[in-house]
């Protein structure tokens, strides 16, 4: 799930950029993908539009300052041809605002990336940083600086107890080009959900939120996504993901009465904690069988209910995924990605 770095993003294979200084220093590769050799690096730079470019430094002992490292990429690459970018760590996880160097570099050099369509911030593995401890700053300025961006994803929502300035901000306001928005977290704060819910994103087709658990600030409720669930917020929405939820049954009950379900073609409730109770709501509510695709992978349904749900939705012509059944541990049910 988050055990490995992204290998593909924006429909392109991921290739890590290493600066000339980094190549000369032969940096420690802790937590990062295998370093390309000099010839592979040169070939990639000559065909820059064919890759999603991964940029990041060591999150514990950065050997380069991210700002200079990023500026080196801008100097070496034909950045107007860059279509996709993946950002890893941009500074020490112990600094007061760990994600600020990446945000500031992206804003400073935004005018150089006129072809950038897809951006992922926070590609850190569990080995580097547990998802609930990935610190992100206010990233709304990045979206404002890239009004042509069509796909944006971020991993990590910060920790207000450890870093005052490391709480993710997404007060997007209006963005006319964005078609896909993803927030991956071990706990999605309600304030972030409300920011997204109130945004004006007229082109948005894909919304994916990892809701997480209350112990890691995942206090989002259906009321915090009222405009989204009503169908009012995003008129072009085609896919809704409410994944990694601590109480998937509650979300199913809310969705059973939500007009948005009748408008989207694809609903993703995977990585969660769906039980027989929530599954029965799915079976009893006709609108769910009008979907084109329903993903329930990683759930707590009984074997009998799993079979019933799979058969009922397949018969209705819905592409259904009911794999990865979990066994409840006493009273405890856990979503797929937490601490």
The secondary structure of 258-292 as a DSSP string is -GGGGT-SEEE--SS---HHHHHHHHH-GGGGG-S
Structure-token pair, residue 209:
């939120």
pLDDT at 17 over 60: yes
Count of CB atoms within 10 A of residue 229's CB?
A: 22
Residues 6+ apart with CB under 8 A from 304: none
- pLDDT at position 110: 98
HSE at residue 13, side-chain half, CA atoms within 13 A, is 6
Please write the tens of the pLDDT for every residue from 314-330. Answer: 999 999 999 999 998 88
- pLDDT at position 160: 54
Nearest to 270 by CA among 294, 253, 289: 294
Torsion of CA 23, 54, 134, 117, to 10 degrees: 150
- pLDDT at position 162: 59
pLDDT band at 253 (very low <50, low <70, confident <90, very high): very high
For residue 153, list its beta bridge partners. 120, 182
Could you tell me the domains of the chain?
Answer: 1-169 (no CATH), 216-339 (3.80.10.10)
Mean pLDDT of the chain: 92
- pLDDT at position 260: 98
16-20, 22-26, 173-177, range with greatest mean pLDDT: 173-177
Nearest to 227 by CA among 219, 238, 235: 235
Structure-token pair, residue 36:
């390309």
What's the average model confidence in pLDDT over 186-190? Answer: 95
- pLDDT at position 61: 61
Distance CA 121, CA 143 (A): 12
Sign of CA dihedral 18, 22, 24, 28: negative
Please write the tens of the pLDDT for every residue from 34-48. Answer: 677 888 988 999 999
pLDDT band at 1 (very low <50, low <70, confident <90, very high): low
Please write the tens of the pLDDT for every residue from 111-167. Answer: 999 999 999 999 999 888 889 888 899 999 999 999 999 999 999 997 656 555 568
For residue 208, list its beta bridge partners. 182, 241
Distance CA 135, CA 27 (A): 23
Count of CB atoms within 10 A of residue 94's CB?
A: 11
* Higher pLDDT among residues 97 and 79, named by residue: 79
Distance CA 193, CA 156 (A): 14
Strands (E), 63-217: 84-87, 118-121, 151-155, 180-184, 206-212
pLDDT band at 22 (very low <50, low <70, confident <90, very high): confident
Question: Phi and psi (nearest 5°) for 196?
Answer: -65, -45
Please write the tens of the pLDDT for every residue from 278-312. Answer: 999 999 999 999 999 999 999 999 999 999 999 99
Please write the tens of the pLDDT for every residue from 202-240. Answer: 999 999 999 999 988 899 999 999 999 999 999 999 999
pLDDT band at 5 (very low <50, low <70, confident <90, very high): very high
pLDDT > 70: percent of the chain: 92
Q: Distance between terminal CA atoms of the chain?
A: 13
- pLDDT at position 168: 92
């Amino acid at each position: 799930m988050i055990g490995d770095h992204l290998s593909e993003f924006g429909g392109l294979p991921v290739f890590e950029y290493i600066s000339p200084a980094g190549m000369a220093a032969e940096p420690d590769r802790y937590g990062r993908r295998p370093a390309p050799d000099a010839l592979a690096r040169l070939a990639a730079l000559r065909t820059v539009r064919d890759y999603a470019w991964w940029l990041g430094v060591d999150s514990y002992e950065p050997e380069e300052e991210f700002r200079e490292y990023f500026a080196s990429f801008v100097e070496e690459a034909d950045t107007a041809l860059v279509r996709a970018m993946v950002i890893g760590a941009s500074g020490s996880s112990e600094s007061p605002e760990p994600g600020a160097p990446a945000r500031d570099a992206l804003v400073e050099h935004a005018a150089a990336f006129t072809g950038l369509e897809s951006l992922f911030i926070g590609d850190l593995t569990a080995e580097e940083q547990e998802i609930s401890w990935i610190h992100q700053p206010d990233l709304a300025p990045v979206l404002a600086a890239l009004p042509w961006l069509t796909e944006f994803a971020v991993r990590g929502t910060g920790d207000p107890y450890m870093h005052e300035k490391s709480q993710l901000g997404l007060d997007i306001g209006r963005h006319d080009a964005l078609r896909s928005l993803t927030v991956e977290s071990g706990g999605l704060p309600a304030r972030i959900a409300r920011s997204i819910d109130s945004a004006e994103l007229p082109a948005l087709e894909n919304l994916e939120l990892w809701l997480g658990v209350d112990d890691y600030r995942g206090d989002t409720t259906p009321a915090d996504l009222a405009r989204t669930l009503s169908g009012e917020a995003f008129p072009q929405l085609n896919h809704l993901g409410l994944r990694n939820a601590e109480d998937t049954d509650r979300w199913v009950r809310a969705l059973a009465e939500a007009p948005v379900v009748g408008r989207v073609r694809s609903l993703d409730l995977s990585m969660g904690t769906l039980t027989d109770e929530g599954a029965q709501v799915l079976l009893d509510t006709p609108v769910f069988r009008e979907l084109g695709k329903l993903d329930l992978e990683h759930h707590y349904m009984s074997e009998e209910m799993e079979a019933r749900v799979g058969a009922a939705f397949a018969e209705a012509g819905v592409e259904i995924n009911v794999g990865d059944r979990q066994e409840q541990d006493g009273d405890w049910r856990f979503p797929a990605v937490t601490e």
